[in-house]
Structure 1
Amino acid sequence: MSIIVRNTTSRDFPEILEMSKRVYPDFPPWTEKHLQSHIRIFPEGQFVAVDLKSGHIVGMAASLIIRWKDYSINASWNEITDYGMFSTHNPEGDTLYGAEVMVSPSMQRRGVGKKIYEARFNLAIRLNLTRICAGARLSGYHRYAHKIDAKEYVSKVIRGSIKDPTLSFQLKQGFHVLAVVPNYLPSDRESLGYAAIIEWLNPNKVQIPESHLQSLYVKKETVQS
């Protein structure tokens, strides 16, 4: 399987919109208005993954730049992205904010997501940004919410005793958890609105071992409890 990742163009919109409906059947899908705004405001931050054999789009990522200190750690996805329109994009900011990554259901667990994140890492390094941040929706939390709270759930995911479909993958890409917040995506029934705020630090800007960062959240929650 040969996958390339390139910047999104308007010709990609029909396939992205169709994929969005398959990946998020319970969410309002992206619209052409959203996607057009993304490539108008920050074309470098929008990516698609293409299967060279079929020519079809099998993954997509949407990003914007923000100044991290301008937002509360509890800020929702809608607040940071202006309801997905990206009018909050700040080219003078220090942080690449990951508003979306999705992979076609038939192509998941085949390395597509990893290639998309590599493109994001390369972009952050090329633009000399300090970090990449995102909200990792806790898509497996609904199965555990009756017995543990969201913070304990995330601690268990970090330790490896629970596997979350979203967060576990992102931790493997080198992200660490800053916080767990409610009402990030209030209508998300799988996460019950909870997300882990995650961060990847540009190694050219910040020299801190990831193994140390990965353990900070667990240590903090252990002390607080």
Structure 2
Amino acid sequence: MYKELYVFRNGIPIKAVIRNYSPDDFEALIQVQQDSFPPPFPQDLLWNPEQLGNHTERFPEGAICAEADGRIVGSMTALRLPQAMFRQKHSWDEATDSGYIRNHDPTGDTLYVVDVCVTPAYRQTGLGKWLMQTMYEVTVNLGLRRLLGGGRMPGYRAAFLENGMTAQKYLEAIIQGERKDPVLSYLLRCGRMPVEVVENYLEDEDSLNYAVLMEWNNPFWKEND
């Protein structure tokens, strides 16, 4: 997969590329993660070469990156899982095999998001939305039921300390436009729909370990596909 497009940085159009990533990109991808998720985010959750190798070998269609100004500035990774996996609550570790995706199921009907990130200098350019749009295209092209994944809620810790707000109430406040969250608000703008709040989804101090499962249903999917 390879596509070129323009995004706007500080009001100026810049050419960008979204493509599948390869082993030659691993060092740059790890740097993007380091830039995107500084402490207190657990640094042992950032990509390592073995995980990235599994992404490109087991499911290359779900391993994409974004380039701008001649360098990688964002990435998104996914795997396929069966619908039966989601009949009970799960954590990020359980759904993604701790990021190693050895549980990737080539027959699974759900495209599960492992990670999406854009380096801070290229946020607000639309690249994050284009990465998500590309994964929607993968969902459609493979004839899958939906795209699903847990969205961090990094603004929740501050809201909880402020007034003891529950995670569910925090989500409702975002949907009602009373609050904004850098991740959940972005996912809503991308067309993702909330499914449920999940406790102990990921070790994440800013989110108090909560996340919101959010999906995008393939409008072209048919039961007998």
Partner of 1:49: 66
Equivalent of residue 57 in structure 2, options 26, 40, 51: 40
Equivalent of residue 195 in structure 2, options 172, 178, 185: 178
Equivalent-residue separation in structure 1 for 2:152 and 2:31 (angstroms): 21
Partner of 1:3: 16
Give a deviation string over 1:77-129, Cα, whole Å, max 9, x none: 00011111001111111100011000011001111101101110110000000
Partner of 2:134: 119
Equivalent of residue 38 in structure 2, options 25, 29, 32: 25
Equivalent-residue separation in structure 2 for 1:177 and 1:204 (angstroms): 20
Deviation for aligned residue 1:71: 3.1
Equivalent of residue 99 in structure 1, options 109, 114, 128: 114
| Distance of aligned partners of 1:154 and 1:183 in 2 relative to their CA distance in 1, 3 Å threshold | same
Partner of 1:219: none
- Tell me if structure 2 keeps the 8 A contact 1:13–1:32: yes
**What CA RMSD, in Å, does the superposition of the two structures yield over aligned residues?**
1.1
Deviation for aligned residue 1:160: 1.3
Deviation for aligned residue 1:25: 1.7
Partner of 2:97: 82
Deviation for aligned residue 1:2: 1.2
Partner of 1:144: 159
Deviation for aligned residue 1:10: 0.7
Deviation for aligned residue 1:64: 0.2
Equivalent-residue separation in structure 2 for 1:102 and 1:119 (angstroms): 14
Deviation for aligned residue 1:195: 0.2
Give a deviation string over 1:150-195, Cα, whole Å, max 9, x none: 000001111111101000110111111110011001x211101000
Partner of 1:218: none
Number of positions where the alignment pairs a residue of Structure 1 with one of Structure 2: 203
- Tell me if structure 2 keeps the 8 A contact 1:177–1:198: yes
Deviation for aligned residue 1:73: 4.4
Equivalent-residue separation in structure 2 for 1:11 and 1:74 (angstroms): 36
Unaligned runs of 5+ in 1: 207-225
Partner of 2:208: 192
Unaligned runs of 5+ in 2: 1-13
Deviation for aligned residue 1:202: 0.4
Structure 1 position 204 matched with structure 2 position 204: no
Letter in structure 1 aligned against 2:23: S
Q: Per residue, is there more strand in 1 or in 2?
A: 2
Partner of 1:169: 186
Letter in structure 2 aligned against 1:74: K
Partner of 1:213: none
Letter in structure 1 aligned against 2:25: D
Equivalent-residue separation in structure 1 for 2:167 and 2:147 (angstroms): 23
Letter in structure 2 aligned against 1:31: N
- Work out the percentage of aligned pairs sharing the same amino acid: 34
